[in-house]
């Protein structure tokens, strides 16, 4: 069940503030494991992928006269095994968004609609050509995130609220240009740093896993549990939690909260200790935060840009963004976990003064201290350390950063030249 999206047991925001822009980062929905692990104890194939199998594929067609045109071809995708045998209808591929994941991301989309459209009226209630410029939909170029985004969009705009024939853009990037995740493909230096930090984490935290060997090695063909083992500790935890998210039974020892806590602590350090390094922050999620910060400036300075953006991402994206801003809770993000980045202005700033001197003062103020930014994770407002000082947040509400303070924090993790800094010959990990 997805976490709530709207703030719980409190007003959305002080009455003195109006929401004018929001970006939501959502981890994809529940999926199958990305590799076969623990297959003697957890089913190797999951028959949980029925809804995403029938397609009307867009194809090129030629008329009898040879004129090129567009047609649709109905297809049904099925799994073929290594031995050539067909899987049952609905059998999932590795790492595939399941029907459970489709339902949960649909529900998150519905919750986003309930808050931002039904309650606050941030964007129009109906998806039409006129509303498209106010919306931004983007995903990493992976089937499970693209399909999660499509489910989020369906929850945001159910069929009765979509104009006939409307086709909103779903944006993806080439792998080398991707900023919606820590991009080790496009940034070789990041891959080097990541390996260094993973090696250091294995040395430091493998001893904490020794006490699990007696319990878990029985299920791992006698192998010990290690960050850099075979299978790796993070793979074990991922497989177990994916199974639990679908109600698939796992051996009781893997369901033990104390065992999972020990595994989670070790693998969280493996994957995210790199964010203690300023260089790592800059070349991993710094470009994404810089892009979002730029969109906030565009809205404040020019009144342009989308009012609502939804991006389908990954666990490493959410944890990385939180770590860059010093609010990561050292817990692995759940399926459909979400971050909301929200821009506010005082309600009294809806109109500018008439005199030229007052207008200049108002404009300067409206671009910095009179606009506020809030970050919410799993519906809970976060208090950023960068905004703790007096004058850097709304008085009495430390979770509302001034735009200026938020952008100073982002500037610290923004690369000067990402391409140059990503060269393997880059500097130390600081």
Q: What is the pLDDT along the chain (430 residues), one digit of tens a residue?
A: 789 998 888 899 999 999 999 999 999 999 999 999 999 999 999 999 999 888 888 899 988 888 899 898 988 889 999 899 999 999 999 999 999 999 999 999 999 999 999 999 999 999 999 999 999 999 999 999 999 999 999 999 999 999 999 999 999 999 999 999 999 999 999 999 999 999 999 999 999 999 999 999 999 999 999 999 999 999 999 999 999 999 999 999 999 999 999 999 999 999 999 999 999 999 999 999 999 999 999 999 999 999 999 999 999 999 999 999 999 999 999 999 999 999 999 986 544 444 444 444 444 444 445 899 999 999 999 999 999 999 999 999 999 999 999 999 999 999 999 999 999 864 444 4
Phi–psi pair at 268, nearest 5 degrees = -65, -40
Q: Are strands 338-346 and 17-27 parallel, antiparallel or unpaired?
A: antiparallel
Phi–psi pair at 149, nearest 5 degrees = -60, -40
Specify the residue for token string 């070790």.
266
Catalytic residue flag (residue 246): no
Largest Cα separation within the chain, whole Å, is 79
pLDDT at 430: 45
pLDDT at 348: 65
Tell me if 180 sits within 8 A of 174, measured CB to CB.
Answer: no
Could you tell me which of 31, 4, 6, 45 has the C-alpha nearest to residue 103? 31
pLDDT at 352: 45
The active-site residue out of 9, 28, 71, 417 is: 28
- What span, in angstroms and rounded, lies between the C-alpha atoms of 381 and 378? 9
Specify the residue for token string 């024939």.
165
Return the exposure string of 12-29: e unless at least 16 CB atoms fall within 10 Å of the residue's CB, then b.
ebeeebbbbbbbbbbbbb
> Residue 271: which residues within 8 A CB-CB, separation 6 or more?
198, 234, 316, 319
pLDDT at 9: 81
Q: Say which DSSP state 51 is in.
A: T
Could you tell me which of 158, 119, 103 has the C-alpha nearest to residue 6? 119
pLDDT at 425: 65
The active-site residue out of 213, 256, 315, 349 is: 315
- What span, in angstroms and rounded, lies between the C-alpha atoms of 168 and 201? 43
Tell me if 123 sits within 8 A of 307, measured CB to CB.
Answer: yes
Cα angle 297-300-305, degrees, rounded to a multiple of 5: 75
Could you tell me which of 7, 34, 99, 33 has the C-alpha nearest to residue 338? 7
Cβ-based burial of 106 (10 A; exposed 0-12, middle 13-18, buried ≥19) = buried
Phi–psi pair at 352, nearest 5 degrees = -90, 150
Query: How far does Cα 391 stand from its chain's mean position?
Result: 30
Cα angle 66-69-75, degrees, rounded to a multiple of 5: 115
Write out the DSSP string of 245-301. Answer: HTT----HHHH-HHHHHHHHHHHHHHHHGGGGSHHHHHHTTHHHHHHHHHHHHHHHH
How far is residue 170 from each of residues 89, 138, 174, measured CA to CA in Å? 28, 6, 14
Specify the residue for token string 């994206």.
317
pLDDT at 8: 82
pLDDT at 362: 45
Tell me if 89 sits within 8 A of 50, measured CB to CB.
Answer: yes
* 127 three-class SS: strand
Tell me if 258 sits within 8 A of 397, measured CB to CB.
Answer: no
The residue length of the chain stands at 430
Catalytic residue flag (residue 28): yes
Tell me if 413 sits within 8 A of 289, measured CB to CB.
Answer: yes
Cβ-based burial of 185 (10 A; exposed 0-12, middle 13-18, buried ≥19) = middle
């Amino acid at each position: 069940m997805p976490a709530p999206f709207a703030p719980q047991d409190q007003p959305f925001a002080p009455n003195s503030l109006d929401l004018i822009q929001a970006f939501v980062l959502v981890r994809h929905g529940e999926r199958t494991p990305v590799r076969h692990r623990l297959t003697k104890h957890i089913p190797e194939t999951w028959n949980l992928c029925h809804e995403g199998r029938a397609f009307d594929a867009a194809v090129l067609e030629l008329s009898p006269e040879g004129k090129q045109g567009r047609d649709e071809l109905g297809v049904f995708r099925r799994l073929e095994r290594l031995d050539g045998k067909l899987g049952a209808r609905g059998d999932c591929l590795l790492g595939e968004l399941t029907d459970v994941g489709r339902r949960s991301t649909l529900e998150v989309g519905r919750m986003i609609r309930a808050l931002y459209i039904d309650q606050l009226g941030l964007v129009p209630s109906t998806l039409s050509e006129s509303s498209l410029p106010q919306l931004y939909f983007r995903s990493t170029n992976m089937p499970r995130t693209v399909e999660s985004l499509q489910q989020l969009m369906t929850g945001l705009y159910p069929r009765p609220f979509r104009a006939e024939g409307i086709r909103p853009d779903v944006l993806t990037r080439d792998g080398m240009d991707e900023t919606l995740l820590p991009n080790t493909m496009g940034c070789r230096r990041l891959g080097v740093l990541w390996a260094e930090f993973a090696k250091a984490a294995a040395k430091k935290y493998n001893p904490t896993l020794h006490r699990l060997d007696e319990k878990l090695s029985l299920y791992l063909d006698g192998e010990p549990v290690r960050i850099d083992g075979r299978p790796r500790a993070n793979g074990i935890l991922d497989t177990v939690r994916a199974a639990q998210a679908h109600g698939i039974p796992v051996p009781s020892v893997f369901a033990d909260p104390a065992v999972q806590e020990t595994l989670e602590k070790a693998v969280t350090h493996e994957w995210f200790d790199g964010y203690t390094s300023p260089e790592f922050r800059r070349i991993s999620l710094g470009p994404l935060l810089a892009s979002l910060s730029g969109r906030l400036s565009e809205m404040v300075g020019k009144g342009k840009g989308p009012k609502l953006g939804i991006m389908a991402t990954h666990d490493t994206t959410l944890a990385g963004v939180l770590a860059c801003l010093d609010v990561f809770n050292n817990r692995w993000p759940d399926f459909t976990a979400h971050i909301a980045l929200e821009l506010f202005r005082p309600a009294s700033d809806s109109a500018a003064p008439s005199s030229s001197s007052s207008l200049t003062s108002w404009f300067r103020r409206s671009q910095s201290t009179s606009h506020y930014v809030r970050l919410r994770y799993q519906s809970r407002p976060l208090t950023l350390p960068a905004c703790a000082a007096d004058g850097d947040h709304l008085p009495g509400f430390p979770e509302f950063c001034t735009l200026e303070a938020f952008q100073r924090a982002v500037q610290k993790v923004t690369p000067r030249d990402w391409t140059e800094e990503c060269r393997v010959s880059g500097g130390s990990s600081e």
